[in-house]
Structure 1
Amino acid sequence: MYRVRKIPSLVDLCVNKAIDNIRFLGDVGETDIHLLERILPHCTVDQLMHVEKSSEGRDLTPVTDKLWKKFYERQFGKESTTTVIERMRQKRVAFRWIQLYEAKMQDIEKNESKAADRIKQSYLKENARKQSRQIQICSKVPPSSNKRSFGGSGYGYNVANTKNKILKKAKIEVLQSQEMKNIKAWRRNAVQKSSDIPSTKKPMFPGRESASTSKNTSTHMAKRCSHFAPPRLGQQLAFFRCIILLARLR
């Protein structure tokens, strides 16, 4: 025998149609409780929250409170749900599960925001540490804080010390030059030859022999003095040039 299919009632057709279009459900108005008990269990968290906020002036707690308890347990665990129930029993207070759900979500959002801030601060500190360890090229030299130095250190002392080193080096180079070597050699030869000139004695008796001796002595002195003649013109110029250079370096 064939089973006779029951024809759905008009109410069943309306309920099924409401469930199919539940995403568009908002203010339920004065809809009967027994109809809402068949429709609202098919809502998601966001859809049920939208129905609660849209149905102003209508308390849906008899229908939605047990639904919000299921959402709370599904979202935060059975242990957290049991803890909340125990605390309300100890403090002898009662809250709607939608309120508990919203409070829990706010706490989670605050904790997540704090964690994000800590991560951001840690990232900024690490970035600043890396930037401080990088080599930076300065476009200009910063001014010295010690403009005047009265002791043995500082900017003035460094400049004077550098200048003295330059002058000392220049003097050494001049003294070791070929011109100065030629002048020193000429002086040594002049001193050595002057020490070789014999001393002349005055004759005891004037006469012809004395005149001859005087004439020979004069000739000999002229020959000797020729050795003391100044050096060539090039050596003289080199000598004067060295003297001028030394005077400038002082």
Structure 2
Amino acid sequence: MIKVSSTIVLLFQRFSSSPSSQTVAWQPEKEEMYPVRKVPSLVDLCVYKAIDNLRFLGDVGETDLHLLERILPHCTVDQLMHVEKSSEGRDLTPVTDKLWKKFYERQFGRENTNIVSERMQKKKVAFRWIQLYEAKMKDIEKNESEAADRIKQSYLKENARKQSRQIQICSKVPPASNKRSFGAGYGSNVTNTKNKLLKKSKIEVLQSQEMKNIKAWRRNAVQKTCDIPSTKKPMFSGRDSASTSKSTTTHMARKW
């Protein structure tokens, strides 16, 4: 009997030392270890409601900073900017400055953020990170606008160059008196231009002083020729006069 009882005691000790036995034995104590869910206060409910409706958040008025520290970190860039602009007369820098630094680092990189911080330390100046964020965004927008203008100007120049190299149809109708040859068009315009130039040069030559002198010299020569008396030629030639005198002599001889 003593041996049997000792064996039972050893088995009970092993069973009590095993994990399963501990779980079963201390189950009521483990249930007491779970934290009891706390009922949220009215302030917590207001904070949760504000976080759920951040898109409608504007002027925060005189809201305590410890409440804003729980609400504003959930805002996006546009929402936080709207709150800053709407809350006129309220300095939110103690809460929002570190938030704007995070937005700056997220948008432009940690390296640029560190460079800006070092520059402010060297120059012993301090700017709000919202001001640095706005200045950086304006600088980027300006550079993008200038780049877009340069691209637009280069596109217009290239388009104008292509337009200048294209064949353009002339809508000017030539006069009806001019005969158009086969393949006329550009050649007829050139011919008309040449004719106009020739007419103009001819008129200039005729109106020049040299031509006037030549005309005057010709008129004087004609007048001198008209003033010389013309000699009358005999009506009959020598042969005819000889035959006439011969016939006259014969007639006179017959008469006598």
Figure out how many residues of one structure are paired with residues of the other and give that number.
Answer: 153
SS in 1 for 2:193: coil
SS at match of 1:149: helix
Report what 2:121 is aligned to. 89
1:144 corresponds to which residue?
193
Match of 1:134 in 2: 166
In structure 1, the residue matched to 2:76 is: 44
Match of 2:49 in 1: 17
Give the whole-Å Cα distance in 2 for the aligned partners of 1:73 and 1:98: 12
Deviation at 1:110, TM superposition (A): 0.2
Task: Indicate which of 120, 141, 165 corresponds to 1:109.
Answer: 141
Which 5+ residue runs of structure 2 have no aligned equivalent? 1-30, 175-188, 203-256
Once the two structures are superposed, residues 97-142 of structure 1 have per-residue CA deviations (whole angstroms, 9 ceiling, x without a partner) of 0000000000000000000001100110111111111111111266
Q: Secondary structure at the match of 1:39?
A: helix
Measured in 1, the distance between the counterparts of 2:165 and 2:122 equals 57
Cα drift, residue 4 of structure 1: 1.7
1:34 matched to 2:66: yes
1 or 2 for the larger relative contact order (CA 8 Å, sep ≥6)? 1
The 1:38/1:133 distance shift into structure 2, 3 A limit, reads same
1:120 maps to 152
Following TM superposition, the consecutive aligned residue runs of length 4 or more in structure 1 with deviations greater than 3 angstroms are 150-153
Superposed CA offset, 1:148-203 (max 9, x none): 438999xxxxxxxxxxxxxxxxxxxxxxxxxxxxxxxxxxxxxxxxxxxxxxxxxx
Supply the distance in 2 between the matched residues of 1:145 and 1:30 (Cα, whole angstroms).
90
Once the two structures are superposed, the pairs formed by residues 155-234 of structure 1 within 5 Å of their partners are none
The 1-side partners of 2:46 and 2:169 are apart by 78
With normalisation by structure 2, the TM-score equals 0.56
Q: Which structure is larger by alpha-carbon Rg, 1 or 2?
A: 2
- Matched residue of 2:121: which SS? helix
% identity of equivalent residues: 82
Q: Structure 1, unaligned stretches of length 5 or more?
A: 154-250
Distance 1:4 1:97 in 2: 42
SS of the counterpart of 2:171?
coil
**1:59 aligned residue:** 91
Change (3 A) 1:13 1:131: same
Structure 2 distance, partners of 1:11, 1:151, is 101
Give the alignment's TM-score, normalised by structure 1: 0.58
